[in-house]
Structures are given as C-alpha cells and as structure tokens.
C-alpha cells in the first residue's frame, strides 16, 4: 500500500502517481523555504541550523519530532485518515496525540530516546536524497 494514495472502490487504496508527484513538489517547496530560513538564522550567528529532506518509501506510522537528540514527541498516525474531500488516504497527523519523552528524565525515557535515535538514523541512511537535492557527478 502506498500512502498517500487515492481511495478506490470499497475503500481500497489505489496508487496515484500524479498525486505523489504533487506531494514531492510540495516537499521541494518546503525544503527551499526551510533552507532560506536556516540561512537567515545562520547569518545571525547565534545558532547553526541545517535543513535536509530524504524520501523514504513506506507507510507513515509514527509521527516523531526529535530535538537535539534529547527531547522527543511521539505519536501514531491515523493511517486510514482521508483528505477533506475523502478522495485520498493522507495521514498528515494534525490530530495525532503526542507523548513527550526526554533523555533527561529517567533511565527508561533515556533508553527510549536513544532507541528511536538509532532507529531513525538507520532509516535516514536508507532513505534517498530527493532529485532536487542531488549533486550531479562530475
């Protein structure tokens, strides 16, 4: 199953390559906007900010935000969520309940955050650099 996907007869997911291409173009626009913001913040000299996108083909199960590899927000997407027009399965996670985990709280939460960091590092290493970020070979 490819998510996002078109909702077909009887609720079955149908691949929609044009929709995926639109989503990819949207990601490219986000990437460009975030890169401009990062450059502005870096010019101020108080922080160092980086922005990088990768494409990972899989069902978006977990909504995870990790800050400085220490503080984590985690929840599960509603994978059968649909767009407003109900035409696509597209779990954006606007209503996802997030749990807060801090590596500074307890041994258990420190282990949980470390485990997620390791897992996401592995996924990141397998994910493709998007075409708009690839540097042509010389």
* Phi, then psi, of 102 in degrees rounded to 5: -125, 135
Reported as a pLDDT band with limits 50, 70 and 90, residue 49 is: confident
Q: How far apart are CA 43 and CA 35, in angstroms?
A: 12
Within a domain: 70: yes
Position with higher pLDDT, 26 vs 50: 26
User: What pLDDT score does 27 carry?
Assistant: 87
Q: What is the pLDDT of residues 76-101, one digit of tens each?
A: 988 888 888 888 887 788 888 999 99
Within a domain: 138: no
Domain of residue 47 covers 5-133
Say if residues 27 and 53 touch (Cβ distance below 8 Å): yes
Q: How far apart are CA 50 and CA 55, in angstroms?
A: 17
Within a domain: 67: yes
Within a domain: 129: yes
Length of the chain: 138
Number of domains forming the structure of the chain: 1
Reported as a pLDDT band with limits 50, 70 and 90, residue 1 is: very low
Q: C-alpha angle 127/129/132, rounded to 5°?
A: 150
Within a domain: 117: yes
Q: What is the DSSP letter of 136?
A: P
Q: Is the pLDDT of residue 137 over 80?
A: no
**What is the helix (H) or strand (E) element at residue 44, kind and residue range?**
helix 17-44
Per-residue burial over 10-36, b if 16 or more Cβ lie within 10 Å, else e, is: eeebeebeebeeeeeeeeeeebeeebe
Q: What is the pLDDT of residues 4-42, one digit of tens each?
A: 788 999 999 888 888 888 888 988 999 999 989 989 999
* Phi, then psi, of 7 in degrees rounded to 5: -85, 120
């Amino acid at each position: 199953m490819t998510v996002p996907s078109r909702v077909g007869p009887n609720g079955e997911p149908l691949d929609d390559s044009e929709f995926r291409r639109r989503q990819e173009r949207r990601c490219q626009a986000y990437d460009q906007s975030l890169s401009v913001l990062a450059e502005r913040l870096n010019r101020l000299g108080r922080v160092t900010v980086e922005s990088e996108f990768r494409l990972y083909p899989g069902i978006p199960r977990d909504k995870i935000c990790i800050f400085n590899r220490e503080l984590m927000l985690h929840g599960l997407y509603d994978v059968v969520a649909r767009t407003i027009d109900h035409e696509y399965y597209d779990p954006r996670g606007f209503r996802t309940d997030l749990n807060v985990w801090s590596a500074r709280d307890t041994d258990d939460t420190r282990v949980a955050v470390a485990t997620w960091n390791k897992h996401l590092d592995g996924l990141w290493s397998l994910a493709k650099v998007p075409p708009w970020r690839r540097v042509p070979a010389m």
